[in-house]
Amino acid sequence: MIMAMAKGQPALLVLADGTTFEGLSFGAKGTTVGEVVFNTGMTGYQEVLTDPSYCGQIVTFTYPELGNTGVNPDDEESEKPQVKGVIARNITYRPSNWRSTESLPDYLIRHNIIGIYGIDTRALTRKIRSVGAINGIISTETLDKGELLRQVQSAPSMAGLNLVKEVTTREIYEWSTPTDSHWNFNTNNGETSQEGLTVVAIDFGVKRNILRRLASYGCKIIVVPADTPPEDILKYNPDGIFLSNGPGDPSAVTEGVSTVKALIEQGKPTFGICMGHQILGLSLGAETFKLKFGHRGLNQPCGLKEKVEITSQNHGFAVTEKSLDAEVEITHLNLNDRTVAGLSHKNLPFFSVQYHPEASPGPHDADYLFEKFVNLMKENKGQ
């Protein structure tokens, strides 16, 4: 700890209410502004950093040691880290893991991402839990608190922000790579199934492990940019439509909502995860709202009565329960705060979850949802 501490240069974290934390820099140098959120997972920092849903956010890890297992090319959930910054209690410059190819500080420098450590992340998390979502600024170049406060106070709030255009794919591409056989589980004792189903995935900021899980369950996936018109999507004659996770405020993604509204009129099986769940809800006439500080971690309990799933989550918005149409059924609640965590249409083959069944990182309790989607597509096809 002391050796690691000696390496960083002084850095400041200033929240929009003026609360200031002094720390040390790791990663790139400079100044960065974003919504400060906390993730309570004890593993999976690389997957978190590269999850496009974190675009625009500075992530605080409540687990106090960051970087112990380094980073490696296989654990990237997208082509680069997507966060605006990283906050840690302590970090390591010397990782130890058979899969590690680089240290976390070197990786962040290479991708120009600013990090600050030596922060009392418990105090910071308690602050966010009491005041709610708040913007923050990290700087390694200006240690003038007043100047940083002025900058952070002029940054936009996450509410109302459409960030999908920052992360959606520019090109249409096909994905057929399943989960690596070392890690494959549930599907035919680790074998990839061959269902021959075609899924169009609308990319609001998709995580790679979702695509791998769909491929392991036998789907060929065509990933399309979020602004692809519904007619172009239907040209692929898909067996099902997948709506991905993604960053920002779902209610600001108006084009995505209109596309999904047009697609669900066709009655094709549709599965949404996280932002995809919120967009399906909005398309079915519901509303969304911003949670006080969101759910980000790997042990969020969800269920209704008999069965509880421990789930991986990363979201700051949720579907408003009271706004749901009578045709829409709640399949899961988040059992910590009883917000809506899963939906399905009573008569049509549409369902969605607010959490991440693909995990990465996190528990695999909800992996069965990919199979449910495949079965819906098979039924719909008359197989």
**For ligand GLN, which stretch binds (CB under 6 A), given 60-68, 87-95, 177-185, 242-250?**
242-250
State the minimum distance, in angstroms, from the CB of residue 251 to ligand GLN.
Answer: 10
Per the annotation, does 34 bind a ligand? no
What is the β-pairing status of strands 20-27 and 57-61? Answer: unpaired
- 206 near ligand GLN (CB under 6 A): no
Contact 275, 246 (CB under 8 A): yes
Active site residue 166: no
Q: Is the dihedral of CA 97, 363, 62, 88 positive or negative?
A: positive
Per the annotation, does 377 bind a ligand? no
State the minimum distance, in angstroms, from the CB of residue 68 to ligand GLN.
Answer: 25
Contact 195, 240 (CB under 8 A): no
State the minimum distance, in angstroms, from the CB of residue 85 to ligand GLN.
Answer: 17
- 281 near ligand GLN (CB under 6 A): no
Q: Which of 55, 219, 274, 302 is catalytic?
A: 274
Per the annotation, does 246 bind a ligand? yes
Number of other CB atoms surrounding residue 368 within 10 Å: 13
With left for phi above 0 and alpha for psi between -120 and 50, is residue 25 left, alpha or beta?
beta
How far is 67 from 90, CA to CA, in rounded Å?
9
State the minimum distance, in angstroms, from the CB of residue 285 to ligand GLN.
Answer: 19
Torsion from C-alpha of 206, 212, 216, 219, nearest 10 degrees: 40
Backbone angles phi, psi at 250, to 5 degrees: -60, -30
Active site residue 302: no
What residues between 302 and 321 interact with ligand GLN by CB under 6 A?
314-317
- Residue span 46-75 as binding mask against ligand GLN, x where in contact by CB under 6 A, dash where not: -------x----------------------
Per the annotation, does 30 bind a ligand? no
Q: How many CA atoms lie within 13 A of 57 on its CB side?
A: 31
Helix (H) or strand (E) holding 129: helix 121-131
- 357 near ligand GLN (CB under 6 A): no
Residue of 226, 275, 282, 340 that binds ligand GLN (CB under 6 A): 275
- 168 near ligand GLN (CB under 6 A): no
Positions annotated as catalytic residues are 274, 356, 358
Residues of this chain that interact with ligand GLN (CB under 6 A) are 53, 245-248, 250, 274-275, 314-317
